[in-house]
Protein backbone atom coordinates (compact mmCIF):
# COMPACT_ATOMS: atom_id res chain seq x y z
CA UNK A 1 0.00 0.00 0.00
CA UNK A 2 1.34 3.44 -0.90
CA UNK A 3 2.18 6.05 1.70
CA UNK A 4 -0.72 8.18 0.45
CA UNK A 5 -3.17 5.32 1.01
CA UNK A 6 -1.74 4.66 4.46
CA UNK A 7 -1.80 8.35 5.38
CA UNK A 8 -5.44 8.55 4.35
CA UNK A 9 -6.23 5.49 6.45
CA UNK A 10 -4.42 6.99 9.43
CA UNK A 11 -6.36 10.22 9.08
CA UNK A 12 -9.66 8.34 8.95
CA UNK A 13 -8.69 6.42 12.07
CA UNK A 14 -7.46 9.40 14.12
CA UNK A 15 -9.64 12.10 12.64
CA UNK A 16 -6.67 14.31 11.77
CA UNK A 17 -3.64 14.37 9.48
CA UNK A 18 0.00 13.99 10.47
CA UNK A 19 0.86 17.37 11.94
CA UNK A 20 4.21 18.76 10.89
CA UNK A 21 6.09 21.68 12.40
CA UNK A 22 8.66 23.32 10.11
CA UNK A 23 11.69 25.37 11.08
CA UNK A 24 12.78 27.75 8.32
CA UNK A 25 10.65 29.00 5.44
CA UNK A 26 13.42 29.87 3.01
CA UNK A 27 13.89 28.23 -0.38
CA UNK A 28 13.87 24.65 0.95
CA UNK A 29 11.18 25.31 3.52
CA UNK A 30 8.86 26.97 1.02
CA UNK A 31 9.10 24.01 -1.33
CA UNK A 32 8.40 21.64 1.54
CA UNK A 33 5.30 23.58 2.63
CA UNK A 34 3.80 23.76 -0.83
CA UNK A 35 4.48 20.11 -1.64
CA UNK A 36 3.22 18.82 1.70
CA UNK A 37 -0.01 20.72 1.10
CA UNK A 38 -0.69 18.39 -1.84
CA UNK A 39 -0.27 15.16 0.15
CA UNK A 40 -3.46 13.73 1.72
CA UNK A 41 -3.17 12.86 5.38
CA UNK A 42 -0.27 15.24 6.06
CA UNK A 43 -0.36 18.94 6.93
CA UNK A 44 2.03 21.71 7.92
CA UNK A 45 0.56 22.76 11.25
CA UNK A 46 3.11 25.39 12.26
CA UNK A 47 6.12 27.24 10.89
CA UNK A 48 8.91 28.84 12.90
CA UNK A 49 11.06 31.47 11.22
CA UNK A 50 13.06 34.39 12.62
CA UNK A 51 11.30 36.41 9.92
CA UNK A 52 7.66 35.38 10.52
CA UNK A 53 6.49 37.03 7.32
CA UNK A 54 8.31 34.27 5.41
CA UNK A 55 6.21 31.68 7.20
CA UNK A 56 3.02 33.58 6.45
CA UNK A 57 4.04 33.89 2.81
CA UNK A 58 4.76 30.16 2.62
CA UNK A 59 1.30 29.34 3.94
CA UNK A 60 -0.23 31.77 1.45
CA UNK A 61 1.64 30.07 -1.39
CA UNK A 62 0.12 26.78 -0.20
CA UNK A 63 -3.37 28.31 -0.25
CA UNK A 64 -3.77 29.03 3.47
CA UNK A 65 -4.81 32.57 4.45
CA UNK A 66 -6.13 31.96 7.98
CA UNK A 67 -2.71 32.07 9.66
CA UNK A 68 -2.38 32.78 13.39
CA UNK A 69 0.79 34.78 13.99
CA UNK A 70 0.57 35.67 17.65
CA UNK A 71 -1.03 34.44 20.81
CA UNK A 72 -0.21 32.67 24.04
CA UNK A 73 0.84 29.03 24.00
CA UNK A 74 -2.68 27.78 24.72
CA UNK A 75 -4.08 29.74 21.76
CA UNK A 76 -1.39 28.39 19.47
CA UNK A 77 -2.03 24.82 20.60
CA UNK A 78 -5.77 25.20 20.10
CA UNK A 79 -5.19 26.56 16.60
CA UNK A 80 -3.06 23.55 15.71
CA UNK A 81 -5.62 21.13 17.09
CA UNK A 82 -8.41 22.76 15.05
CA UNK A 83 -6.37 22.81 11.84
CA UNK A 84 -5.55 26.52 11.75
CA UNK A 85 -1.94 27.17 10.64
CA UNK A 86 0.41 28.90 13.06
CA UNK A 87 3.57 30.97 12.54
CA UNK A 88 6.02 31.74 15.36
CA UNK A 89 9.46 33.34 15.49
CA UNK A 90 10.97 30.88 17.99
CA UNK A 91 11.84 27.41 16.70
CA UNK A 92 11.73 25.90 20.18
CA UNK A 93 8.10 26.97 20.53
CA UNK A 94 7.23 24.14 18.14
CA UNK A 95 8.22 21.58 20.75
CA UNK A 96 5.29 22.66 22.97
CA UNK A 97 2.66 22.35 20.23
CA UNK A 98 0.57 19.22 19.50
CA UNK A 99 2.51 18.21 16.40
CA UNK A 100 3.94 14.83 15.42
CA UNK A 101 7.12 15.66 13.52
CA UNK A 102 9.46 18.66 13.51
CA UNK A 103 11.27 19.26 10.23
CA UNK A 104 14.32 21.53 10.38
CA UNK A 105 15.08 23.32 7.11
CA UNK A 106 17.25 26.05 8.63
CA UNK A 107 20.56 24.68 7.34
CA UNK A 108 22.23 26.07 10.48
CA UNK A 109 23.96 23.40 12.61
CA UNK A 110 23.24 25.16 15.92
CA UNK A 111 19.54 25.59 15.13
CA UNK A 112 19.29 21.96 14.06
CA UNK A 113 20.94 20.81 17.28
CA UNK A 114 18.66 22.92 19.47
CA UNK A 115 15.50 21.84 17.68
CA UNK A 116 16.40 18.14 17.48
CA UNK A 117 17.49 17.89 21.11
CA UNK A 118 14.51 19.77 22.53
CA UNK A 119 12.09 18.12 20.12
CA UNK A 120 13.17 14.59 21.01
CA UNK A 121 12.87 15.33 24.71
CA UNK A 122 9.38 16.71 24.02
CA UNK A 123 8.35 13.45 22.34
CA UNK A 124 8.51 14.60 18.70
CA UNK A 125 10.02 12.78 15.75
CA UNK A 126 12.78 14.80 14.07
CA UNK A 127 13.46 15.09 10.33
CA UNK A 128 16.36 17.22 9.11
CA UNK A 129 16.81 19.14 5.91
CA UNK A 130 20.02 20.10 7.71
CA UNK A 131 22.79 17.63 6.93
CA UNK A 132 25.23 20.10 8.45
CA UNK A 133 23.86 19.23 11.87
CA UNK A 134 23.82 15.49 11.18
CA UNK A 135 27.55 15.27 10.37
CA UNK A 136 28.33 17.05 13.63
CA UNK A 137 26.11 15.39 16.25
CA UNK A 138 23.90 12.98 14.30
CA UNK A 139 25.09 9.83 16.04
CA UNK A 140 24.21 11.23 19.45
CA UNK A 141 20.79 12.41 18.25
CA UNK A 142 20.06 9.06 16.61
CA UNK A 143 21.08 7.19 19.78
CA UNK A 144 18.96 9.52 21.87
CA UNK A 145 15.95 9.06 19.58
CA UNK A 146 16.23 5.28 19.78
CA UNK A 147 16.30 5.38 23.55
CA UNK A 148 13.26 7.64 23.68
CA UNK A 149 11.22 5.63 21.18
CA UNK A 150 11.33 8.44 18.63
CA UNK A 151 12.63 8.68 15.05
CA UNK A 152 15.57 10.86 14.03
CA UNK A 153 16.21 11.09 10.29
CA UNK A 154 17.75 13.09 7.50
CA UNK A 155 15.12 13.81 4.87
CA UNK A 156 14.62 12.18 1.51
CA UNK A 157 15.43 14.27 -1.54
CA UNK A 158 18.98 15.09 -0.50
CA UNK A 159 21.82 13.17 -2.13
CA UNK A 160 22.95 11.16 0.92
CA UNK A 161 19.51 9.62 1.41
CA UNK A 162 18.90 8.80 -2.23
CA UNK A 163 22.39 7.35 -2.57
CA UNK A 164 21.88 5.28 0.58
CA UNK A 165 18.82 3.74 -1.10
CA UNK A 166 21.05 2.67 -4.00
CA UNK A 167 23.62 1.26 -1.57
CA UNK A 168 20.91 -0.80 0.11
CA UNK A 169 19.63 -1.99 -3.26
CA UNK A 170 23.07 -3.08 -4.49
CA UNK A 171 23.80 -4.91 -1.26
CA UNK A 172 20.37 -6.52 -1.20
CA UNK A 173 20.93 -8.13 -4.61
CA UNK A 174 24.37 -9.44 -3.68
CA UNK A 175 26.78 -6.83 -5.03
CA UNK A 176 29.76 -5.51 -3.10
CA UNK A 177 29.68 -1.73 -2.90
CA UNK A 178 32.95 -0.36 -4.23
CA UNK A 179 31.98 3.31 -4.19
CA UNK A 180 28.91 5.44 -3.52
CA UNK A 181 28.71 9.07 -4.44
CA UNK A 182 27.21 12.04 -6.22
CA UNK A 183 27.81 14.38 -9.08
CA UNK A 184 28.89 17.93 -8.24
CA UNK A 185 27.31 20.37 -10.66
CA UNK A 186 29.94 23.11 -10.51
CA UNK A 187 33.74 23.16 -10.54
CA UNK A 188 35.39 23.03 -7.13
CA UNK A 189 36.56 26.45 -5.91
CA UNK A 190 37.57 26.31 -2.22
CA UNK A 191 38.06 30.09 -2.15
CA UNK A 192 34.45 30.87 -3.14
CA UNK A 193 32.73 33.40 -0.87
CA UNK A 194 29.25 34.94 -0.75
CA UNK A 195 30.68 38.03 -2.42
CA UNK A 196 32.35 36.11 -5.25
CA UNK A 197 29.17 34.17 -6.10
CA UNK A 198 26.68 36.98 -5.40
CA UNK A 199 25.85 37.59 -9.06
CA UNK A 200 25.27 33.91 -9.78
CA UNK A 201 23.23 33.55 -6.61
CA UNK A 202 20.98 36.44 -7.58
CA UNK A 203 20.42 34.91 -11.02
CA UNK A 204 19.42 31.60 -9.42
CA UNK A 205 17.32 33.21 -6.68
CA UNK A 206 19.61 31.62 -4.06
CA UNK A 207 21.10 32.73 -0.78
CA UNK A 208 24.75 33.55 -1.65
CA UNK A 209 25.98 31.75 1.48
CA UNK A 210 24.23 28.59 0.29
CA UNK A 211 25.71 28.86 -3.19
CA UNK A 212 29.16 29.52 -1.74
CA UNK A 213 28.87 26.31 0.31
CA UNK A 214 28.11 24.42 -2.91
CA UNK A 215 30.93 25.94 -4.93
CA UNK A 216 33.62 25.73 -2.23
CA UNK A 217 32.83 22.02 -1.85
CA UNK A 218 31.60 22.14 1.75
CA UNK A 219 28.14 20.83 0.89
CA UNK A 220 29.52 17.89 -1.08
CA UNK A 221 31.90 17.03 1.75
CA UNK A 222 29.04 17.22 4.27
CA UNK A 223 26.73 15.05 2.18
CA UNK A 224 29.30 12.34 1.56
CA UNK A 225 30.29 12.25 5.23
CA UNK A 226 26.64 11.73 6.16
CA UNK A 227 26.43 8.89 3.63
CA UNK A 228 29.60 7.25 4.98
CA UNK A 229 28.24 7.31 8.53
CA UNK A 230 24.80 6.00 7.56
CA UNK A 231 25.95 3.30 5.11
CA UNK A 232 29.09 2.25 7.01
CA UNK A 233 31.37 3.28 4.17
CA UNK A 234 34.84 4.80 4.44
CA UNK A 235 36.74 7.88 3.27
CA UNK A 236 39.78 6.77 1.28
CA UNK A 237 41.63 10.08 1.64
CA UNK A 238 41.11 13.64 2.85
CA UNK A 239 38.83 15.52 0.46
CA UNK A 240 38.09 12.34 -1.54
CA UNK A 241 39.25 12.23 -5.19
CA UNK A 242 36.61 14.18 -7.13
CA UNK A 243 37.54 13.29 -10.72
CA UNK A 244 35.58 14.36 -13.77
CA UNK A 245 33.30 11.69 -15.18
CA UNK A 246 30.28 11.04 -17.33
CA UNK A 247 27.59 8.55 -16.35
CA UNK A 248 28.92 6.02 -18.85
CA UNK A 249 32.42 6.31 -17.41
CA UNK A 250 31.51 5.97 -13.72
CA UNK A 251 32.25 2.26 -13.39
CA UNK A 252 35.62 2.71 -15.12
CA UNK A 253 36.64 5.71 -13.01
CA UNK A 254 35.42 4.63 -9.58
CA UNK A 255 37.19 1.31 -9.22
CA UNK A 256 40.39 0.47 -7.33
CA UNK A 257 43.69 1.75 -8.70
CA UNK A 258 44.74 -1.87 -9.15
CA UNK A 259 41.88 -2.23 -11.65
CA UNK A 260 42.64 1.02 -13.48
CA UNK A 261 40.47 3.39 -11.45
CA UNK A 262 41.10 6.27 -9.05
CA UNK A 263 40.24 4.66 -5.72
CA UNK A 264 42.87 3.87 -3.11
CA UNK A 265 40.44 1.51 -1.40
CA UNK A 266 37.08 -0.16 -1.94
CA UNK A 267 33.91 0.51 0.03
CA UNK A 268 34.23 4.29 0.04
CA UNK A 269 32.32 7.49 -0.67
CA UNK A 270 33.38 9.97 -3.34
CA UNK A 271 32.10 12.51 -5.86
CA UNK A 272 32.74 13.65 -9.40
CA UNK A 273 32.31 16.71 -11.54
CA UNK A 274 30.88 16.56 -15.03
CA UNK A 275 27.42 15.62 -16.37
CA UNK A 276 26.57 13.19 -13.54
CA UNK A 277 24.87 15.83 -11.38
CA UNK A 278 22.20 16.08 -10.12
CA UNK A 279 22.34 12.31 -9.87
CA UNK A 280 23.77 9.85 -7.37
CA UNK A 281 25.52 6.56 -8.07
CA UNK A 282 26.81 3.31 -6.65
CA UNK A 283 29.50 1.17 -8.20
CA UNK A 284 28.89 -2.47 -7.39
CA UNK A 285 31.22 -5.40 -7.98
CA UNK A 286 30.28 -8.98 -8.86
CA UNK A 287 32.61 -11.33 -10.74
CA UNK A 288 30.66 -14.58 -10.76
CA UNK A 289 30.61 -15.70 -14.43
CA UNK A 290 26.87 -16.43 -14.36
CA UNK A 291 26.07 -12.99 -13.02
CA UNK A 292 28.54 -11.32 -15.40
CA UNK A 293 26.88 -13.01 -18.37
CA UNK A 294 23.39 -12.10 -17.14
CA UNK A 295 24.36 -8.46 -16.54
CA UNK A 296 25.85 -8.25 -20.03
CA UNK A 297 22.65 -9.69 -21.50
CA UNK A 298 20.65 -7.08 -19.56
CA UNK A 299 22.70 -4.22 -21.01
CA UNK A 300 24.64 -3.42 -17.82
CA UNK A 301 28.07 -3.72 -19.39
CA UNK A 302 30.89 -6.24 -19.36
CA UNK A 303 31.58 -6.02 -15.61
CA UNK A 304 32.70 -6.90 -13.09
CA UNK A 305 32.12 -3.26 -12.00
CA UNK A 306 28.58 -2.01 -12.52
CA UNK A 307 26.93 1.40 -12.26
CA UNK A 308 23.66 1.85 -10.41
CA UNK A 309 22.53 5.40 -11.10
CA UNK A 310 19.65 7.66 -10.13
CA UNK A 311 19.65 10.76 -12.36
CA UNK A 312 17.91 13.13 -9.95
CA UNK A 313 17.25 14.11 -6.37
CA UNK A 314 14.21 16.25 -5.70
CA UNK A 315 15.16 18.08 -2.50
CA UNK A 316 12.14 19.45 -0.64
CA UNK A 317 9.74 17.86 -3.14
CA UNK A 318 10.70 14.39 -1.88
CA UNK A 319 11.28 15.33 1.76
CA UNK A 320 7.69 14.60 2.88
CA UNK A 321 8.39 10.91 2.21
CA UNK A 322 10.64 10.90 5.28
CA UNK A 323 7.81 12.24 7.42
CA UNK A 324 5.59 9.40 6.21
CA UNK A 325 8.33 6.84 6.76
CA UNK A 326 8.96 8.07 10.30
CA UNK A 327 5.29 8.19 11.34
CA UNK A 328 4.04 5.07 9.58
CA UNK A 329 7.06 2.76 9.56
CA UNK A 330 8.87 4.15 12.63
CA UNK A 331 12.21 4.12 10.85
CA UNK A 332 14.61 6.75 9.53
CA UNK A 333 15.35 7.35 5.86
CA UNK A 334 18.96 8.01 6.84
CA UNK A 335 20.70 8.20 10.21
CA UNK A 336 24.24 7.43 11.35
CA UNK A 337 24.93 3.84 12.34
CA UNK A 338 28.63 4.46 12.96
CA UNK A 339 31.08 7.38 12.89
CA UNK A 340 33.52 6.83 10.03
CA UNK A 341 33.73 10.36 8.62
CA UNK A 342 34.15 13.93 9.76
CA UNK A 343 34.05 17.23 7.91
CA UNK A 344 37.02 19.36 8.93
CA UNK A 345 37.16 23.16 8.97
CA UNK A 346 39.85 24.58 6.65
CA UNK A 347 40.99 28.20 6.43
CA UNK A 348 39.59 29.75 3.27
CA UNK A 349 42.02 32.66 3.49
CA UNK A 350 44.79 33.78 5.83
CA UNK A 351 43.27 34.09 9.30
CA UNK A 352 44.53 36.50 11.93
CA UNK A 353 44.62 36.09 15.68
CA UNK A 354 41.47 37.48 17.28
CA UNK A 355 39.20 37.06 14.25
CA UNK A 356 35.85 35.28 14.49
CA UNK A 357 34.90 32.40 12.18
CA UNK A 358 31.68 33.00 10.25
CA UNK A 359 30.79 29.38 9.45
CA UNK A 360 29.65 27.32 6.48
CA UNK A 361 29.38 29.14 3.17
CA UNK A 362 31.07 32.23 4.55
CA UNK A 363 34.31 34.14 4.10
CA UNK A 364 36.63 32.25 6.44
CA UNK A 365 36.33 28.44 6.24
CA UNK A 366 35.33 25.58 3.99
CA UNK A 367 34.96 21.87 4.67
CA UNK A 368 36.99 18.77 3.78
CA UNK A 369 35.87 15.21 4.49
CA UNK A 370 38.34 12.97 6.28
CA UNK A 371 38.27 9.84 8.38
CA UNK A 372 37.00 10.24 11.92
CA UNK A 373 40.22 8.67 13.14
CA UNK A 374 42.40 11.26 11.37
CA UNK A 375 40.21 14.04 12.74
CA UNK A 376 40.49 12.71 16.27
CA UNK A 377 44.23 12.11 16.15
CA UNK A 378 44.88 15.53 14.66
CA UNK A 379 42.67 17.37 17.12
CA UNK A 380 40.90 18.96 14.15
CA UNK A 381 37.75 21.04 14.57
CA UNK A 382 34.56 19.80 12.88
CA UNK A 383 33.14 22.30 10.41
CA UNK A 384 29.79 22.24 12.21
CA UNK A 385 31.43 23.69 15.33
CA UNK A 386 33.41 26.42 13.58
CA UNK A 387 30.82 29.21 13.50
CA UNK A 388 31.58 31.76 16.19
CA UNK A 389 34.98 30.26 16.99
CA UNK A 390 37.82 32.66 17.87
CA UNK A 391 41.13 32.47 15.99
CA UNK A 392 43.94 31.89 18.49
CA UNK A 393 46.93 32.44 16.23
CA UNK A 394 47.72 33.49 12.68
CA UNK A 395 47.17 30.62 10.23
CA UNK A 396 47.67 30.60 6.46
CA UNK A 397 44.98 29.76 3.92
CA UNK A 398 44.55 26.04 3.43
CA UNK A 399 45.31 25.13 7.03
CA UNK A 400 43.14 22.36 8.46
CA UNK A 401 42.13 24.01 11.70
CA UNK A 402 42.82 22.36 15.04
CA UNK A 403 42.02 23.22 18.62
CA UNK A 404 45.39 24.99 18.71
CA UNK A 405 44.22 27.33 15.94
CA UNK A 406 40.67 28.22 16.96
CA UNK A 407 38.64 28.16 20.17
CA UNK A 408 35.16 26.74 19.69
CA UNK A 409 32.26 28.54 21.36
CA UNK A 410 31.49 25.96 24.03
CA UNK A 411 28.31 27.77 25.14
CA UNK A 412 26.34 26.49 22.14
CA UNK A 413 23.98 23.53 22.18
CA UNK A 414 25.78 21.83 19.32
CA UNK A 415 29.13 22.04 21.13
CA UNK A 416 27.61 20.54 24.28
CA UNK A 417 26.03 17.70 22.29
CA UNK A 418 29.28 17.12 20.43
CA UNK A 419 31.20 16.69 23.67
CA UNK A 420 28.65 14.09 24.77
CA UNK A 421 28.91 12.33 21.41
CA UNK A 422 32.69 12.26 21.77
CA UNK A 423 32.23 10.53 25.13
CA UNK A 424 29.89 7.95 23.60
CA UNK A 425 32.41 7.27 20.85
CA UNK A 426 35.13 6.91 23.46
CA UNK A 427 33.13 4.05 24.94
CA UNK A 428 31.75 5.77 28.00
CA UNK A 429 28.63 3.98 29.28
CA UNK A 430 25.52 5.76 28.05
CA UNK A 431 23.90 5.75 31.48
CA UNK A 432 26.65 8.05 32.73
CA UNK A 433 25.32 10.75 30.42
CA UNK A 434 21.86 10.79 32.01
CA UNK A 435 22.78 13.58 34.48
CA UNK A 436 23.52 15.74 31.47
CA UNK A 437 19.89 15.57 30.37
CA UNK A 438 19.98 12.73 27.87
CA UNK A 439 17.21 10.77 29.53
CA UNK A 440 16.26 7.71 27.52
CA UNK A 441 19.60 6.85 25.93
CA UNK A 442 19.90 3.10 26.25
CA UNK A 443 22.73 1.62 28.25
Per-residue pLDDT reduced to its tens digit, 184-224: 988 899 999 999 999 998 998 899 999 999 999 999 999 99
For 286-399, list the strands marked E by DSSP. 305-310, 341-347, 365-371, 390-391
407 and 285 within one domain: no
91 and 199 within one domain: no
174 and 134 within one domain: no
CATH of the domain at 77: 3.40.50.720
140 and 29 within one domain: yes
Domain residues for the domain of 95 are 3-158+317-329
Q: Following DSSP, what letter does each residue of 374-398 receive, concatenated? A: HHHHHTBPBGGG-TT-EE-S-B-TT
154 and 132 within one domain: yes
409 and 304 within one domain: no
d(CA 370, CA 367): 10
CATH of the domain at 386: 3.90.1210.10
152 and 94 within one domain: yes
186 and 89 within one domain: no
What kind and span of H or E run contains 251? helix 250-253
Q: Domain boundary at 329, 355, 388, which?
A: 329
Instruction: Tell me, yes or no, whether 276 lies in a domain.
Output: yes
Instruction: Tell me, yes or no, whether 76 lies in a domain.
Output: yes
210, HSE (Cβ side, Cα atoms, 13 Å): 15
Burial class (CB in 10 A: 0-12, 13-18, 19+), 332: buried
Instruction: Tell me, yes or no, whether 443 lies in a domain.
Output: no
Instruction: Tell me, yes or no, whether 432 lies in a domain.
Output: no
308 and 321 within one domain: no
Tell me what pLDDT residue 83 has: 97
Contacts of 28 (CB under 8 A, 6+ apart): 105, 107, 129, 315, 316
149 and 17 within one domain: yes
d(CA 417, CA 93): 20
Instruction: Tell me, yes or no, whether 255 lies in a domain.
Output: yes
Instruction: Tell me, yes or no, whether 281 lies in a domain.
Output: yes
Count of CB atoms situated within 10 Å of the CB of 423: 16
* Residue ranges in the chain whose pLDDT is less than 70: 429-443
In the chain, the number of structural domains is: 3
Q: Is the dihedral of CA 419, 421, 422, 423 positive or negative?
A: positive
178 and 44 within one domain: no
21 and 152 within one domain: yes
CB-CB contact of 142 with 332 (8 Å): yes
Amino acid sequence: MSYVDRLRARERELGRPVRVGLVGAGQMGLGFVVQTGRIPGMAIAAIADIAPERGVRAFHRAGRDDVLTDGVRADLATAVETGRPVVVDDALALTALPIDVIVDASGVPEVGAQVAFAGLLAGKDIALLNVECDVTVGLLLSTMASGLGRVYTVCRGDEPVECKALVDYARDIGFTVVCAGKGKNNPLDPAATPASVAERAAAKGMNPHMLASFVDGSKTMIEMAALANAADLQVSRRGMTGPRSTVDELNAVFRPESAGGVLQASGVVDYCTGPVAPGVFVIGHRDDPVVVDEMAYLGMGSGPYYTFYRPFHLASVEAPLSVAEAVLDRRPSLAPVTWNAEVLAVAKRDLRRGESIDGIGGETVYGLTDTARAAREGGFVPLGLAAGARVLRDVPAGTVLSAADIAVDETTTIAALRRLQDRLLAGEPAESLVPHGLVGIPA
